[in-house]
Structure 1
């Protein structure tokens, strides 16, 4: 156990120094940690070939995420160039009232993420639009980012189209629809309470009249810079509709990126080659005269995703190493002795295991793996349905991903929304409330379904 804790402490020191002291890219910190774990593996008599194979296996298991990020980067670039994102901002300024903006932004992002199944795609499209509208109303950007991320992770956790939802259900050996149903007792009150908090803050904190002049100025600048019309939003409607019909994410998002390039050429007067090029390099030449709008819209492209993709590859490789060396099994044995017959301790064990996946594996995919695999036997031994396992894994893993500055979610959200992880961290109310409700249910024993398949614990260990 001391070897496990030593490795984890070294990891935290490396990542903390990288982020807070030396400003070294987080990817290098993760890369360095590979060799710390490899060193422990060699000491424990694992061959280097097996350790390298575990890195490759870990990366392979989550490789779909990197492919999606390529397409999302292209989508953001062409949708800005095609006027789709600017139009979303413009019409949002016409419709939304400052006092209800925060809760409206959360609801819009929640609906988008439920329909598309992607928190990253939601933040990169509707989220960027909400950031522009919120800034136009004079609302602090970390607060806006909190509402956007809260809404985006509703679908990442609940949508049957979400990769993490499907992955967690698969790892826990639960039907995905049953998994979603099992999360509703937590997610519905969490969403209602979070919406209420953003509503209260909007009414008592945001000045409804004081910022309208700035909003009007932004709308004017957007209208002068882009061709704003309702038909410019057709690609957004097409992509959301196709994803809602359960069409594969990668070709749908790629098709959306193509439509964005076509729209840039047809309706924004861009050269065809330049429009296509925004899919890779993003937009770099917008000069609307409003500084924060220019900063927000001069972005996107596959290039903008390369750092996040490198981070995910490093994180997935580290997750494979942690499994191969036996660190995950060590924690599983520790939890087995601690939990005994307490449903509250069982809940905490699963959530903590999932959080460790984000903290040390730096990716939601790793958290889904650690949450389920480190504690699944504890549920079987106690005759508890695995829907509870999958629910607790999402509660400690998926929604905590954007809290970690060096996780894929933390890096992505801070990059796309232009707000640091530590700045928006206090406003991730959907995540915090969901965690508290999940733990409360655990200690109360509420919504703990009986599996009806009690295992013989003695036989399992003897086998």
Structure 2
């Protein structure tokens, strides 16, 4: 008779996590091998511990596949956004955004403007990836034309994108967090607003001051003018080029599903490439798959615009699949349960509830490689602690987003970190110090937690969810 699998002890759990860090550091920093290979080795390492704990291979494989399945939404969005980037560059949408941006935005306010523009785009569309791949790329081109450090521009762009990803009712992570936390979507957004609004304002002021200091005495706009001239020579520039972006925003405002809307927008972009930019029809359609190839004569603009297409995302998709598999394996061998039991003993007040939830969510990003995994680890590991303390789960949902969604672009092998680095052309570790909105969200969330600030009372919807949960437990006991 087979033995019942046992949970990992704290010593084994720490060993697994320690080996994870050693493998990742060794492969990436010392051996300079791809992150994907490191994650593949981590799979076998965790499976080895799983066998030692009494888990069968088939059970672990099923858990691994389940982990990958839970992140398929992000993979579908990556495929759609890859197609969108390729066709919108070829169709003149992104070049037109860069051109008009250079003509109306001054260097002194650019960093703040970049954050605000990306935030508006992300709130309107509900996707940080889509916003970075369109408005974000445009802002990178404008910022470099102004002679600003690209890692600083990337920090402002990503800050804006994640404001929208947290606050938009169209965002899949926002909807998923509210659902997993069993709270009303708009109460979840209201709870997050107490953190996001001050973080946004402080970050915007910081970017404004930084931009003003960097541009002081630097009135040479030669690069910006050369960029505009190069874009005008290589593309048809007019307001008509912005119609695909307008169509996508309107469709998303009507709460249509993001993946088909983004793909439809990508298809319009390829038509624009054929109609306005001189592409042959087959060549224009091909940009959906293989991306855009441009030669404006300006090196950094060419490097910015020669990207996109589904193939552009394949390495990112592979990395995310491997990272999601790590999360699935850790779930299967009971690592999440052990951590949850430890946190349950420690979470004695709202401050500790906040900290443990943020750690549990970050655990999903760091070891699971995706925002979706972080939402699962954050809610599943700590939700019972909120029920025991009879605290509104809007605090849970707010803390999960602060520790999970916002931290994804900070981890080089996570879906957010890899996508932002690949799309904006700036290494994760280079832009992290300038992702000020993310750090402010973390700091403000912890302050609110330990001082018990802006914690909403339970509403009728949440009480109803509590009653249904209690009824389910009673039925299960019989």
Same fold (TM over 0.5): yes
Give the Cα–Cα distance (whole angstroms) in 1 for the partners of residues 216 and 271 of structure 2.
40
> Is residue 96 from structure 1 mapped to residue 105 from structure 2 by the alignment?
yes
Aligned to 1:368: 375
1:154-175 deviation digits (Å, cap 9, x = unpaired): 1111111111111111211122
Aligned to 2:366: 359
Aligned to 2:307: 299
Match of 1:381 among 375, 388, 395: 388
Give the Cα–Cα distance (whole angstroms) in 2 for the partners of residues 358 and 206 of structure 1.
36
Match of 1:188 among 197, 205, 213: 197
Match of 2:400 among 384, 393, 409: 393
> Is residue 46 from structure 1 mapped to residue 50 from structure 2 by the alignment?
no
Q: Report the CA distance shift for 1:61/1:231 in structure 2 as closer, same or farther (over 3 A).
A: same
> Is residue 437 from structure 1 mapped to residue 444 from structure 2 by the alignment?
yes
Q: Report the CA distance shift for 1:306/1:333 in structure 2 as closer, same or farther (over 3 A).
A: same
> Is residue 308 from structure 1 mapped to residue 311 from structure 2 by the alignment?
no
Q: Per the alignment, in what secondary structure is the counterpart of residue 374 of structure 1?
A: helix
Give the Cα–Cα distance (whole angstroms) in 1 for the partners of residues 187 and 382 of structure 2.
19
Q: Is the 8 A contact 2:191 2:455 kept in 1?
A: no
Give the Cα–Cα distance (whole angstroms) in 2 for the partners of residues 89 and 211 of structure 1.
18
TM-aligned CA deviation for residue 29 of structure 1: 1.2
Match of 2:325 among 299, 309, 317: 317
Aligned length: 458
Give the Cα–Cα distance (whole angstroms) in 2 for the partners of residues 349 and 103 of structure 1.
33
TM-aligned CA deviation for residue 209 of structure 1: 4.4
1:337-387 deviation digits (Å, cap 9, x = unpaired): 1222x2111111000111111111111111111111111111000000111
Within-5 A mapping of 1:215-364? 215-284=224-293, 286-340=294-348, 342-364=349-371
Give the Cα–Cα distance (whole angstroms) in 2 for the partners of residues 211 and 106 of structure 1.
23
Aligned to 1:203: 212
TM-score (norm 1): 0.96
TM-score (norm 2): 0.93
TM-aligned CA deviation for residue 448 of structure 1: 2.5
> Is residue 172 from structure 1 mapped to residue 156 from structure 2 by the alignment?
no
Q: Per the alignment, in what secondary structure is the counterpart of residue 420 of structure 2?
A: helix
Q: How large is the Cα RMSD of the aligned pairs?
A: 1.7
> Is the deviation greater in 4-13 or in 443-452?
443-452
Give the Cα–Cα distance (whole angstroms) in 2 for the partners of residues 239 and 254 of structure 1.
9
Match of 1:71 among 77, 80, 103: 80
> Is residue 107 from structure 1 mapped to residue 121 from structure 2 by the alignment?
no
Q: Per the alignment, in what secondary structure is the counterpart of residue 37 of structure 1?
A: helix
Give the Cα–Cα distance (whole angstroms) in 1 for the partners of residues 21 and 181 of structure 2.
28
Q: Is the 8 A contact 2:191 2:456 kept in 1?
A: no
TM-aligned CA deviation for residue 208 of structure 1: 6.5
TM-aligned CA deviation for residue 184 of structure 1: 1.0
TM-aligned CA deviation for residue 10 of structure 1: 0.6
1:285-312 deviation digits (Å, cap 9, x = unpaired): x111111000000110000101111112
Q: Report the CA distance shift for 1:414/1:211 in structure 2 as closer, same or farther (over 3 A).
A: farther
Q: Per the alignment, in what secondary structure is the counterpart of residue 289 of structure 1?
A: coil
Q: Which runs of 5+ in 1 are unaligned?
A: none
Aligned to 1:418: 425
Give the Cα–Cα distance (whole angstroms) in 1 for the partners of residues 220 and 51 of structure 2.
61
TM-aligned CA deviation for residue 207 of structure 1: 3.7
Within-5 A mapping of 1:137-148? 137-148=146-157
> Is the deviation greater in 445-454 or in 392-401?
445-454
> Is the deviation greater in 367-376 or in 121-130?
367-376
Q: Per the alignment, in what secondary structure is the counterpart of residue 426 of structure 2?
A: coil
Q: Per the alignment, in what secondary structure is the counterpart of residue 419 of structure 1?
A: coil
1:36-91 deviation digits (Å, cap 9, x = unpaired): 11112111111211111111111112212111111110110010001110000000
TM-aligned CA deviation for residue 450 of structure 1: 4.2
Give the Cα–Cα distance (whole angstroms) in 2 for the partners of residues 366 and 260 of structure 1.
32
Give the Cα–Cα distance (whole angstroms) in 2 for the partners of residues 128 and 425 of structure 1.
17
1:400-437 deviation digits (Å, cap 9, x = unpaired): 11011111111110100000011101101000011100
Give the Cα–Cα distance (whole angstroms) in 2 for the partners of residues 106 and 208 of structure 1.
23
> Is the deviation greater in 374-383 or in 195-204?
195-204
Q: Is the 8 A contact 1:396 1:435 kept in 2?
A: yes
